[in-house]
Amino acid sequence: MNKFEDRIAHQVRAARGNVKRILGRTSGDRRMEAEGRREQTRGNLERAADKLRAAFKR
């Protein structure tokens, strides 16, 4: 994947994790909530790493 596709994939991962977290909380499924939180955090960290790489590349 190129950089643009990676950035989109990281945003999608964070959004998907947010949806899972909310669905897990709403349905009372603690496992889904935790999985969503983990996925959202991973996506956010990858997005932050992309921004950091872009800042130092200039």
- The predicted model scores a pTM of 0.85
pLDDT in tens, 8-27: 999 999 999 999 999 999 99
Q: List, for residues 28-49, the tens digit of each pLDDT value.
A: 999 999 999 999 999 999 999 9
Going by C-beta distance under 8 Å and a sequence separation of 6 or more, which residues neighbour residue 54?
Answer: none
Cβ burial of 7 (10 Å; 0-12, 13-18, 19+) is middle
